[in-house]
Amino acid sequence: MRRHLAALALWLLLPLAALANGPWTGEWITSWRDDGDHLILRQEGNRVTGSYPLYGGRIEAVAEGRTLEGSWTQGRESGRFVFVMDRDGNSFTGRYDEGEWWTGARTQAAPAATGLNQATPRDAFRQFVVSSNLARSGRTDAWALAIGAVDFSGLDSGLGRQEHLRLTQELFALVDLTTFRISAIPQVTDETELPVTLVQSGSDVRLALTLIRGEDGLWRLRMPDAAARDAARRHLLAATGGRFPPADAYRQMRNPRDTMRSFLEGMADWQGDGRALALSALDLSSVPEVLREGEGAMAAQFLRRALNHIGLVGLQSIPNDGTDRAPYIHFSHPAGSIIIAPIGTEANAPWRFTAQTVRDAARIFNAVESLPPPLATPPGLIPPARFFELRDLAKAHAPALLGRVGQTEYWQILMGLLVMGAAALAGTFGARLARRGMDWMVGGEESGASFTWSLGIVIGLSLAAFFPDLIGMPEHFRRYSLPFFGICLTIAACVVAWRVFGAAGIILARISSRSASATDDILFTLLLATARLMVVVVGFLSAAHFLSIPTSGIIAGLGIGGLAFAFASRETLSNVFGAGILVTDRPFQRGDWISSGEIEGAVEHVGIRSTRVRTAQDSVMVIPNGKLSDSTINNLGSRRLRLLKTTLPVTAGANPEALEAFIQALRQRIREDEIFVAERTDIGLSGITEGGIGVDVITYMKVANAAAERETKHEFLLDVVHLAQACGLTLGQGMLAPEARAG
């Protein structure tokens, strides 16, 4: 995230910086149909001039707003062009001559090699090697310097700039297959021609070249003729089957040179995919896993800057023979050494900067920081880093703060104290504000002091987590501080999550009590229990992460032991799955009166393992969910209608007229009461016995619960007694008690 913000800030500042000197002023990487170049523009008023060195081209143009129109000149060729800058100020789209496209993007690339000359044979060869390496790393205009260090006089005089570029690139590809030290080439000679022999590492193949001094007194590398180039190519490529390795073969890091190149090119594209490539060139095996990303990035920044201070005249000074497994020592100092060695004993094991080099990177940088600039630096960009920007500020304005306690500089200690103090204040204030908000939501002081302290720790440590990389906290301190603070953060976060889920349960229960929908608080209760279980699991895995215990191994171990665990805990797992079935099928809601075998009562709570039912005797039965989900459940609480079935024995006063009047009165009573379902009512004589004549009443009541059912029955039976008396009938003691059944 911080890399993206830094890139966004750079993207926003580039146009502003350009506008200060005119919107077209700056350097651009341009492309056209067959090639591209590095375009350097300078704007004064509305007049723009510039050059693209690789092809020896120049432009002159006039700017009108975002449009630039003018002419280009390249040797004897010339033409017209038009560029239109995009609204972001970072790119342009254009055409030249008869409609060929010419586009460009603003760049902050490192300048082409400077301080080079061709006064001596060594200087000329250095210019060829340094500029060719630089051009291959992305600074394409550096090919112009390489071409300038090559003599083409022995070839066809009619060759153009494009052919010179092709031949220079071909010659560099051959030189790149050898290994040499620039110091082996004489600095002073009285001769006008100097033969140079380059040897391929790991073989006896040699590449013979010649340096010549021209009439202008400058030395150049003579371009071999086609036959010599073909012969050299054939011998040098014998080890690889006669073909050049793929362009990205160096990324496999099969030798020290490939590892160095991977690291340098990865650092040059640090804000993009290159970061992963650069870090892969470092042996981070001795760094705890939780620290590898941050410590690897910091070590890479120190190492890249140290290499720049040390200097490098061409990658070809580094061996490219991977069969020799002896470590390559690039630099050695009492503060530490830069060593590239194979990782493992296998023949194809990749090479990496050693773990000791990673640990010593900061000390090596401090040791070489005061060296004067070298003659040549490694190719590629040095990515910006806020740590070094802050350090440069301290160096410029308060150099005394660069003093050290061990490997930690004073300004780092000061910044660390300021950050921790600010984080503590922010955590305290934020936690108190959040506690008040939670208490207001749940309608009481439910969060507690543990919530406040835990949330304060979470806020404070979360804010402080952005600053260790910013201030370059040393690895030996982070090795112990990060696990400690990480465990504290994990515990505090688990407490906060536990409390938050508890408050959520209170709020959801309140919502459920006001809702008549099928989505009841049984689901909420189960989800809350599941969420709290996940808090425990995530907390455990987080703690393992901060302790650098591989979580993948833990998960794999759980998978391997899963069968044994499932067998030993089959009853528990059955209950857990039973809870899921109860929530999915929804056979009851909380408060429903259920009957299942010997179980009968009102549902109070459904948990992950069991369900609690309160019986008519006010005791609580705890039933495993697995057993309950496999049983037949009679949910009396879900009845829409409740059955009223009773037999009324008439013991005196019975005659046909009185009985008929009584039955009609009962029907009228039911029709007038909306609680009863008149269309599902059946009333009639059921039989004649010695005790009297039975009158059956079968009907349904629209009541929601048992209390309403009892109240309705009470009122109905009282009315029945009054109706019987009005009809001159006497209801005997043999009357059957009403019976309610599920409808």
Report the mean per-residue pLDDT for the chain: 82
Task: Report the percentage of the chain scoring pLDDT > 90.
Answer: 29
For residue 462, the model assigns a pLDDT of 81
Q: Quick check: 602 and 591 in contact, CB under 8 A? A: yes
Distances (CA, A) of 89 to 14, 17, 39, 40: 8, 10, 15, 15
Element containing residue 209 per DSSP (H, E): strand 206-213
Which range, 298-307, 447-456, 489-498, 568-577, is most confident?
A: 298-307
Q: How far apart are CA 535 and CA 554, in angstroms?
A: 17
pLDDT tens digits, one per residue of 387-427: 888 888 888 888 888 888 877 888 888 888 888 888 888 88
Burial 283-297 (b: 16+ CB within 10 A, else e): bbeebbebbbebbbb
Q: Quick check: 180 and 199 in contact, CB under 8 A? A: yes
- Chain centre distance of CA 429: 29
pLDDT tens digits, one per residue of 176-219: 999 999 888 998 888 899 999 999 988 889 999 999 999 889 99
DSSP code per residue over 534-573: HHHHHHHHHHHHHTT--HHHHHHHHHHTHHHHHHHTHHHH
Beta bridge partners of residue 505, listed in sequence order? none
DSSP state of 676: B
For residue 72, the model assigns a pLDDT of 92
Element containing residue 339 per DSSP (H, E): strand 336-342
For residue 63, the model assigns a pLDDT of 93
Q: How far apart are CA 635 and CA 589, in angstroms?
A: 9
Query: Of residues 475 and 40, which shows the higher confidence score?
Result: 40
pLDDT tens digits, one per residue of 433-474: 877 777 777 666 555 677 788 888 888 888 777 777 777 776
Q: How far apart are CA 546 and CA 554, in angstroms?
A: 14
Query: Of residues 3 and 630, which shows the higher confidence score?
Result: 630
Element containing residue 80 per DSSP (H, E): strand 77-85
For residue 527, the model assigns a pLDDT of 72
Residue 648: CA atoms inside 13 Å, Cβ hemisphere, count?
26
On the question of pLDDT at 71 being above 80, the answer is: yes
Q: How far apart are CA 323 and CA 325, in angstroms?
A: 6
For residue 446, what are the contacts with CB-CB under 8 A and spacing of at least 6?
A: 438, 439, 499, 502, 503, 506
Instruction: Lowest mean pLDDT of 243-252, 442-451, 671-680, name the range.
Output: 442-451
Q: How far apart are CA 643 and CA 739, in angstroms?
A: 8
On the question of pLDDT at 575 being above 80, the answer is: no
On the question of pLDDT at 53 being above 70, the answer is: yes
Virtual torsion, Cα 650, 652, 654, 658, nearest 10 deg: -90
Q: How far apart are CA 628 and CA 607, in angstroms?
A: 12
Q: How far apart are CA 56 and CA 472, in angstroms?
A: 44
Alpha helices in 178-336 (DSSP H): 226-236, 256-268, 274-280, 292-310
Which range, 30-39, 125-134, 483-492, 702-711, is most confident?
A: 125-134
For residue 468, the model assigns a pLDDT of 74
Q: How far apart are CA 130 and CA 112, in angstroms?
A: 10
Quick one: pLDDT band at residue 512, thresholds 50, 70, 90? low
pLDDT tens digits, one per residue of 635-664: 776 677 888 888 888 888 778 888 888 888
On the question of pLDDT at 228 being above 50, the answer is: yes
Beta bridge partners of residue 274, listed in sequence order? none
Distances (CA, A) of 598 to 36, 550, 588, 604, 621: 87, 50, 17, 17, 11
Q: Whole-model pTM?
A: 0.66
pLDDT tens digits, one per residue of 112-139: 555 678 899 999 999 999 999 988 988 8
pLDDT tens digits, one per residue of 283-319: 999 888 877 888 899 999 999 999 999 999 889 999 9
Quick one: pLDDT band at residue 513, thresholds 50, 70, 90? low
